[in-house]
């Protein structure tokens, strides 16, 4: 596993952005998140060591743009270089998430065709409205590997009709002292939609405020993922 953040910074875009971890981290450091800047890791996938070998070894999943959104308009001038690097590194698998799937077809390279074999796109939704807006676009987009990310999930949603060709649904709650609560019933409902459609499902993160069997729990940030794992409902 490797990380690749060719640029950093993002603009809040929808309800799911309220407690964006990038904005929160930047705020503590006095960094303006709305300033989108290239990082010194821009060419990381194609950088080589003195022996002429790629520094990022073959066979890994590369998590792309986890300090921004890969389809951010501000980054339009830089994205073509990124696609070229992903093409050059066919021995790596790249994964990026986006809330801006409506921009996807304007952002792909001319030789994209049905999609690159080594790229997974995760479409993020947080409620029924964003699901009904983004997932039909995602469904019709030519992408070889599709994930849906329901995180932070803010209400019960029905996404079953959008699950054709989706490899994995990831679900998580919101992390913040003022976070909106995640109800376990919502988690089980999405899981059932995945079971019905033979789609892999992963409960990745509880919410800071988590409601199960009518009781509310406050979960420390360090335990959000381990508590979700303990539920043992991934399939
Ligand atoms: S789109 Fe993602 S990275 Fe950008 S502000 Fe929203 S949550 Fe943060």
pLDDT per position as a tens digit, 95-150: 999 999 999 999 999 999 999 999 999 999 999 999 999 999 999 999 999 999 99
Give the separation between CA 44 and CA 5, rounded to whole angstroms: 9
13 CB near ligand 1 (under 6 Å): yes
Q: Which pLDDT score is estimated for 26?
A: 95
Whose CA is closest to atom 8 on ligand 1?
A: 20
Residue spans of the chain under pLDDT 70: none
Looking from the CA of residue 68, the nearest atom of ligand 1 is 3
DSSP helix/strand/coil, 215: strand
Q: Specify the length of the chain in residues.
A: 235
99 CB near ligand 1 (under 6 Å): yes
**Nearest of 57, 88, 82 to residue 69 by alpha carbon:** 82
Q: Which pLDDT score is estimated for 205?
A: 98
17 CB near ligand 1 (under 6 Å): yes
Measured in angstroms, how far is the CA atom of residue 200 from the centroid of ligand 1?
A: 25
Other beta carbons less than 10 A from residue 179's beta carbon = 19
HSE value, Cβ hemisphere, 13 Å, CA-based, for 146? 23
**Nearest of 221, 93, 67 to residue 147 by alpha carbon:** 93
Q: What is the pTM of this model?
A: 0.97
Q: Which pLDDT score is estimated for 207?
A: 98
Q: Which pLDDT score is estimated for 19?
A: 97
205: buried, middle or exposed (CB in 10 Å: 19+, 13-18, 0-12)? buried
Domain boundaries, the chain: 1-105
22 CB near ligand 1 (under 6 Å): yes
At 224, list the tokens.
Answer: 């959000």
- Strand partners for 97: 122
Contacts 24+ apart (CB under 8 A), 45-53: 45/4, 45/85, 45/86, 45/88, 45/89, 45/92, 46/85, 46/88, 46/89
Pocket test of ligand 1: the residue of 26, 67, 69, 150 to mutate, having most ligand atoms within 8 Å of its CB, is 69
């Amino acid at each position: 596993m490797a990380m690749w953040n060719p640029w950093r910074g993002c603009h809040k875009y929808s309800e799911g952005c309220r407690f964006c971890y990038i904005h929160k981290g930047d705020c503590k450091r006095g960094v303006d998140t709305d300033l989108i800047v290239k990082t010194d890791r821009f060419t990381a996938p194609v950088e080589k060591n003195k022996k002429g070998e790629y520094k990022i070894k073959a066979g890994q999943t590369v998590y792309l743009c986890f300090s921004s959104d890969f389809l951010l308009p501000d980054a339009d001038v830089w994205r073509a270089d990124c696609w070229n690097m992903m093409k050059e590194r066919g021995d790596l698998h790249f994964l990026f998430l986006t809330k801006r799937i409506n921009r996807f077809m304007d952002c792909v390279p001319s030789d994209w065709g049905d999609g690159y074999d080594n790229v997974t796109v995760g479409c993020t939704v947080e409620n029924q409205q964003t699901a009904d807006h983004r997932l039909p676009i995602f469904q019709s987009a030519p992408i070889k590997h599709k994930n849906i990310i329901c995180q932070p999930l803010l209400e019960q949603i029905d996404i079953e009709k959008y699950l054709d060709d989706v490899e994995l649904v990831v679900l998580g709650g919101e992390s913040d002292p003022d976070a909106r609560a995640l109800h376990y019933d919502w988690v089980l409902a999405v899981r059932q939609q995945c079971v019905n459609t033979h789609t892999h499902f992963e409960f990745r993160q509880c919410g800071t405020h988590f409601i199960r069997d009518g009781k509310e729990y406050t979960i420390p940030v360090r335990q959000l993922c381990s508590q979700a794992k303990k539920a043992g409902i991934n399939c």
